[in-house]
Amino acid sequence: QSALTQPRSVSGSPGQSVTISCTGTSSDVGGYDYVSWYQQHPDKAPKLMMSDVSKRPSGVPDRFSGSKSGDTASLTISGLQAEDEADYYCYSYAGSYTLVFGGGTKLTVL
Amino acid sequence: QLQLQESGPGLVKPSETLSLTCTVSGGSISSTTYSWGWIRQPPGKGLEWIGSIFYSGSTYYSPPLKSRVTMSVDTSKNQFSLKVSSVTAADTAVYYCAKIPSGRFMDVWGKGTTVTVSS
């Protein structure tokens, strides 16, 4: 069972915006600004899309943005493109160099 | 450019020990600001952080797996390793190694290696 709660699936049409939520507790998401997001295409390794809540690594389009409010973090993808269709996972630092994970969200681009 | 490559047996028998190695190339494993970690993904399921290790040897394990997991680092070979004891079918997964800056997120991943637990 995952420590962080994500919706199983979200969908949107090309050009639209979607938001994926990630809910934890005050011991993880709410306690640290260290939430990260990963994109995974089928049979591929995950790719870091966002670190420390809202920091985009080099090469990640600025269509991707991150935020946090209380115990819930969010990843927003604007201007949806077909290539964004993938599974998305959130992770949070939980103290003492430990990490907790979300169950993953399948994004479908209609 | 830093690259990571997992290696090890693809098939392990139940109750035995799973052993994997991650080789780091294009950079040094000996950094005080990075840790090195293992993440796994059972078939059709999500990602699970297994644990992390600093080059100094300090280790941090996922609580549910802590009793069965051992990680080590070999700075002379620029490698770090994972052992999972008393494996069952539930340990069947793709195992990834990754670089973890300051223990907070995984920014470089290996391609993953599939391990099947079966007799």
Which pLDDT tens digit goes with each residue over B4-18?
999 999 999 999 999
Say if the Cβ atoms of B46 and A99 lie within 8 Å.
Answer: no
Instruction: Please state, rounded to an integer, the average pLDDT across all residues of chain B.
Output: 94
Say if the Cβ atoms of B47 and A51 lie within 8 Å.
Answer: no
- pLDDT tens digits for A85-106? 999 999 999 988 889 999 999 9
Nearest to A106 by CA among A4, A9, A5: A9
- Give the residue from chain B lying closest to A3, CA to CA: B48
**Average pLDDT in the A49-75 region?**
97
**Average pLDDT in the A24-46 region?**
96
| Structure-block tokens of residue A68 | 């946090």
Using an 8 Å CB-CB cutoff, list chain A residues near B46: 2, 89, 101-104
The per-residue pLDDT for A98 is 87
Q: Is the pLDDT of residue B94 over 70?
A: yes
Distance of alpha carbon A64 from alpha carbon A39, whole angstroms = 11
| Structure-block tokens of residue A27 | 């011991």
User: Please, what is the end-to-end C-alpha distance for chain A in angstroms?
Assistant: 29
Q: How confident is the model at residue A1 (pLDDT cuts 50, 70, 90)?
A: low
Using an 8 Å CB-CB cutoff, list chain A residues near B60: 96-98
| Min Cα separation B80/chain A (Å) | 17
- CB neighbour class for B46 (10 Å; exposed up to 12, middle 13-18, buried from 19): middle
Q: Is the pLDDT of residue A23 over 60?
A: yes
